A and B are shown apart, each in its own frame.
Chain A
Amino acid sequence: MTDDAIHEEEYKSRLDLRLWKRVIQHARPYAWHLVGLGLSGLALALIEALLPLITAWIIDAATDGTVEVGESNLMLYAGIYAVLVVSICIIIWAFIIMAGKVATGLAFDIRRKSFIKLQQLPFSYYDHRAVGWLMSRLTSDCTRLSSLFPWLTLDLVWGTFTLGSVTAVMFVLNWQLALAVLTIVPPLTVISVYFQHKLLHSSRAVRKANSQLTASFNECIMGARTTKTLVRETENLREFDETSGGMYRHSVRNALQSAVYLPIVISLGSIGAGLALWRGGVSLGESITLGTLIAFMQYAAMFYIPIQELARRFTDVQMAQAAAERIQGLLDTEPDIRDSDEVLARIEEQKQHDPRPGIAIDGHAARIERIEFEHVAFAYKDGEAVLKDFDLTVRAGETIALVGATGGGKSTIVSLVCRFYEPTEGRILINGVDYRERSLHWLQSNLGMVLQSPHLFSGTIRDNIRYGRLDASDEAVMEAARLVNAHDFITASENGYDTQVGEGGGRLSTGQKQLVSLARAVLADPQIFVMDEATSSVDTETEQLIQTGIERMLEGRISFVIAHRLSTIRGADRILVIDAGRIIEAGTHGELIERRGRYFDLYTSQFAKEREEFVLQT
């Protein structure tokens, strides 16, 4: 996995309050839990302050001998103590429960939102991002962020409260000494800012490396067979070692930074106490009494405990920010291809009415009569035009075959029809309306598509065919399978329609996968039917059976057939020869043969010689 193989947003900003504001938005539903957590923090701080007091009371009683430590006294002590301890335990119980609610709920929500977002992002987003990279955002990044959240709240409340009250008490006791203790605050701030920068930087590197590792593992498993055929294991491992080495370096750097930062903070805290001791000792008897100094020193010692705890959290926060950036980066990506506000408004309006027959959810006619390409240009990357000034009109009932040299742009044309990508110039019209003014979901739920690389989901064959129409009955599923001639091979296997196809359909042969995907598309009963080399791995005999099978089915629909085999395309109403993104010839099979152009060349190169030989033999 090379580094630049993947688009990676660069994150530059420092501790970003806007980001955190957005992240906190996710915690909205848990506001009360968080308040509860904060309150538990306070209550805990209070009770923990009380406990030593009552213990001191009983101990004083015992050692001084002033108060009799009778059974009643001990019982009283035990009683108060028990009440306090039980309340502590209840609070502990409650705050862990609340923390659990927040952490798991937050993770759940963020995952849900990210998943929904991923379902909306266009293919161009996926073209440049590895699956593993996206996965790591929903798994480890998400865990990092959500599990920190409740504890961060708790510690922030507790830390600020303790810090504030200790400072206040110190000022009340002696403000000069308090200032002496506080002299450590400016260096502490400078150091923290410095380390914040460093830690954030290394945390980002760690999160990024984590994505890379996830992607590498994913690729390792997906490409296991190819790796075997290439005997590339050693080489792969060497490359992986570089990635895991990167992770090692960044993690160690991150850990070392906190290993330096934390002791510095702790030392600074102690130095503050030392300063107070020095100043206090010098001015003892002048502005301060011994009793006050003793009390003051106790508080000065308490001063650095919350600072230390907060410092510990501080390093976690940097890691969480790095994770949050990645998640928020995904959530904030606006899909390039989506319903415009106007379309959404129309869909809303349409929802008010009773469903009218023949009207789609976006208020336009539901039946697709005509698809037009109007001066369409398209490029995946700037400067590498795939389609140029492309015009085409297709009417319902027509079967359009696309043929031509590989890389000519055939798949691209159907991708544009399906609005997986949108034209960079020109328009595509459905029934005369720019399809950008129609609902994306409506268009895509009227598609039946067999992709060039067949992909099935793990589950049974039945599940996979039914993916085309979720409410289809078993009979309908079988009917679709019969139509594409898949029924025979399915029933021939032991479990029939309940055969598990394995991940990606790996337990079927490629041709079988194509048949199942074809059945899936047929079952969808679509208005636009697209077969992108749908039968390229099926033998000619079966293919002919499929052709006759679906011929009737294609009636009244718009269908696009891409194929290299003459037998597949011969019957099409119109054959378009595509080369370098242009239609160079169009017509029926007969017309094109007549014309003796490119089409003729394409197929005679193969057949002319064969025919000659065949004639010679017979």
Chain B
Amino acid sequence: MTGKGKLLWQITKGQRLRYLSAIAALIAASCFLYLVPLIPTAVLNGVLADADEQVSPFMAWIVDVMGGRAFVISHLWVPAAVIAALAVTAGGFTYLRGRWSAIASESIIRRLRNRLYDHLQHLPCSYHDKAETGDHVQRCTSDVETVRLFLSMQIVEIGRALVMLIVPIPLMYMLDARMTIVSLVVIPPIVAFALIFFTKVKSAFKDADEAEGKMTSTLQENLTGIRVVRAFARQDFETKKFQEKNATHRGLDYRLYYLMAWYWATSDFLCFTQKALVVCAGAYWLWQGELAVGTFYFFLSAVSMFIWPVRMMGRILTDLGKALVALGRIEEILTSQTEAQIDAQQVTEPALLPEPRRGEITFDHVRFAHGTSEDVLCDVSFRVEPGQTLALLGPSGAGKSTIIHLLLRFYDADAGTIRLDGADITQLDRMTVRRQIASVLQEPFLYSKTIGENIKIGRTTANEDETTEAAVTACLHESIEEFDKGYDTLVGERGVTLSGGQRQRVALARAILQKPAVLILDDALSAVDTETETLIIDALRKRRGRHTTIVIAHRLSTLRHADHVIVLDQGRIVQTGTHEKLVAEEGRYRRLWSIQTSLQEDFGKQLTSAAHPRTQ
């Protein structure tokens, strides 16, 4: 069995019994529905017609069941009532079929959606770096829908079609072997044709599905970057780009219809040919006297009966083809290794962090590169004592954020070790590592919830006071109070309805509230004005010793109180030391410092003149 088939089988787990019941209900409903038109026929032929007319035994039996000819003639409402009863029973079974197959398929799909969601959030960052969001969203929605349609419509039909196909064959064979062969002769080509079509439709659907994925991706990117599109008035360019994808998708989607048109025309032609063959051969042998009239009728109705499921098979196969392709795309996500799976290959038994958590961090000759490109970090070693503050400084692309990412185990170092409280973090469970660390990433992400919920998201058990305290520390409380709805203000997707500084401070409050052993601020105050920044830094300094802190910033005012400063350039540590040491030393730090303080010349003059009364 192929992987996709296996996945299909696997996801139906727990619902198979329900499907079987649904199939049984469907067959029962079909039988009752089949009986309904027989009643009028029986009544008309067996009751209302002249008594001496020949009636088939089955019809006579039906009349007998209803109470016999004489009774029915005087109580003509009885057949009507029987019809109603049969119809209602059939309706009941139809309902059961609908109910069971709906519950079964929806449960499966719900589980599949949850599984996808969970898998996506556990995939490593290196996966997300390459993944196209829109394409993934399309897989999780549109492809899942394709599978859902198959599960809710076709699985049950497969059961019925198989029964209807298989049951008449032995009966036919018992009656007349020659006629049976004639009745079945076109079936193999139909099936073969359906199978060929199945592979064709699969590849055509795959193309169409991938095109849809690309289109969704383009759409998603456009909507996410809509502000940039507007800022450059690139609406026409974007529309053209989308239209290309849209047109490709239309073409490939249409090709699917085109294939279907050929398939249905051909398969219907074959089906009709099969019928005609039976009629011709039957009529001929009947005329020759080699076939009984009854047998002939039987074959006529039998062929009509099983031609239907054969046609149906084509539709089922088409949908199965689509579902398998969709499942294939879903499977690509599900078989990508999650962080836990990657770890399980290397570490059988994750180590435990020593208690109490102190927040000591060591980097030991760490080297790292994204994939095969050149090194981002080279031979980086440093150590941060518990409770101390480390500042990282360096030009863009020096690798500051990368150090944080390695510590958070977004990526694993290619060489060297990183230790947290003395334990090699690759030997620890990733979750354990991350739970020790609260971080404000360089581009903070807020969830589309209220401000209050966003702050509390790292520790949902926090109470009102703690939340407020965190907000106060992040200098956010007052701004929030100014909103009409205060902490219940919604922030919009990714926090778009907040100002840049507000967004950063919400992320900061969120991190502070986590009460971590390590606090990381990756350029977390870049959008905050200097005054507020000073307040925040002071507030954080008061909390000194409660947690180890790593700060990345470009404003030296943010960094200067750190116990230890590391200057990075092109992935290497070029300078280390305290602020005082670095200011005294020739190098980048001093250069930056002098740029930032040369501005003080103005202030210097002003400060001295401040001592004297203003002369103007």
Contacts and interface: CB of A to CB of B under 8 A. Distances in A.
A380 B460 CA distance: 30
A606 B597 CA distance: 11
A274 B496 CA distance: 65
B231 A104 contact: no
Given A89-B269, A135-B134, A290-B48, A256 B98 contact: yes
Interface stretch (B74-82, B178-186, B345-353, B381-389): B74-82
Contact of A541 (B83, B237, B257, B595): B595
Contacts of B534: 605-606
B269 A86 contact: yes
Interface string A209-253: 010011111111111111111111101110011001101100110
Interface in B576-595: 580, 583-584, 588, 591-592, 595
Interface stretch (B13-21, B54-62, B417-425, B603-611): B603-611
A567 B137 contact: no
B261 A405 contact: no
Interface residues of B, number: 198
B113 A213 contact: yes
Interface string B118-150: 101111010011111110111011100100000
Contact of A93 (B123, B265, B479): B265
B219 interface: yes
Given A281-B47, A590-B602, 19 more contacts: A62-B283, A89-B268, A115-B239, A128-B492, A128-B497, A227-B121, A229-B434, A244-B113, A248-B107, A248-B110, A267-B87, A407-B499, A407-B502, A453-B500, A456-B225, A507-B370, A512-B396, A589-B602, A611-B604
A368 interface: no
Interface stretch (B157-165, B167-175, B321-329, B521-529): B521-529
B36 to A, nearest CB: 5
Given A232-B457, A290-B48, A226 B396 contact: no
B583 A271 contact: no
B238 A119 contact: yes
Contacts of B132: 458, 503
Interface stretch (B3-11, B193-201, B273-281): B273-281
A457 B221 contact: yes
Given A85-B276, A293-B44, A403-B529, A540 B596 contact: yes
A244 B83 contact: no
Contacts of B606: 593-594, 596, 600
Contacts of A411: 499-500
Interface string A492-516: 0110000000111011111110110
A231 B280 contact: no
B596 A69 contact: no
Contacts of B302: none
A447 B223 CA distance: 20
Interface string B451-481: 0010001101000000000000000000100
B33 interface: yes
- SS class of chain A's interface: helix, strand, loop or mixed? helix
A32 interface: no
A96 B261 contact: yes
Interface in B64-116: 73, 76-77, 79-84, 86-88, 90-92, 94-95, 97-99, 102-103, 106-107, 109-110, 113-114, 116
Nearest to A446: B233
Interface in B261-302: 261-262, 264-266, 268-269, 272-273, 275-276, 279-280, 282-284, 286-287, 293, 296, 300
B79 A220 contact: no
B117 A237 contact: yes
A209 to B, nearest CB: 11
Given A96-B261, A297-B40, A539-B395, A218 B137 contact: yes
A81 interface: yes
A225 B410 contact: yes
A219 B121 CA distance: 10
Interface stretch (A9-17, A106-114, A193-201, A389-397): A106-114
B341 interface: no
Contacts of B220: 131, 135, 218
Nearest to A536: B526
A452 B527 CA distance: 8
Nearest to A469: B232
B120 A251 contact: no
B155 interface: no
Contacts of A127: 492, 496-497
A100 B137 contact: no
A506 B129 contact: yes
A384 B220 CA distance: 31
Interface string B503-541: 001000010001000000001001111111110000000
B286 A455 contact: no
Interface stretch (A136-144, A342-350, A426-434): A136-144
B449 interface: yes
B320 interface: no
Nearest to B494: A222
Interface stretch (B246-254, B354-362, B543-551): B246-254
A97 B116 CA distance: 36
Contact of B141 (A6, A210, A260, A611): A210
Contacts of A88: 268, 272
B98 A281 contact: no
Contacts of B48: 281, 284, 290, 293
Given A97-B257, A470-B237, A229 B130 contact: no
Contacts of A77: 279-280, 283
Contacts of B210: none
A548 interface: no
A405 B80 contact: no
A468 to B, nearest CB: 6
A510 B532 contact: no
A611 B595 contact: no
Contact of B397 (A69, A120, A404, A489): A489
Nearest to A411: B499
Interface stretch (A23-31, A53-61, A475-483, A550-558): A53-61
B276 A219 contact: no
Contact of B106 (A5, A248, A269, A590): A248
Contact of B493 (A68, A104, A219): A219
A81 B276 CA distance: 8
Residue among B37, B224, B447, B510 having the largest count of chain A Cβ atoms under 10 Å: B447
Interface in A357-410: 380-381, 383-384, 403-407
Interface string A593-611: 1101000111111111011
B426 interface: no
Contacts of B258: 97, 100
Contacts of A2: 448-450, 453, 490
A539 B121 contact: no
B420 to A, nearest CB: 15
Interface string A49-76: 0000001001101110100110000100
Interface in A158-213: 210, 213
A395 to B, nearest CB: 22
Given A225-B410, A539-B394, A126 B226 contact: yes
B457 A230 contact: yes
Contacts of A266: 33, 87, 90-91, 94
Interface in A250-270: 251-252, 255-256, 258-260, 262-264, 266-267, 269-270
The list of the 4 closest CB pairs from A to B, nearest first, reads: A100-B257, A406-B501, A259-B98, A511-B396
Given A2-B448, A93-B264, A240-B117, A231 B125 contact: no
B410 A237 contact: no
12 contacts: A123-B227, A217-B117, A218-B137, A218-B220, A259-B94, A266-B94, A267-B88, A271-B80, A277-B76, A512-B397, A537-B442, A594-B606
A108 B121 contact: no
A35 interface: no
Contact of A104 (B94, B120, B254): B254
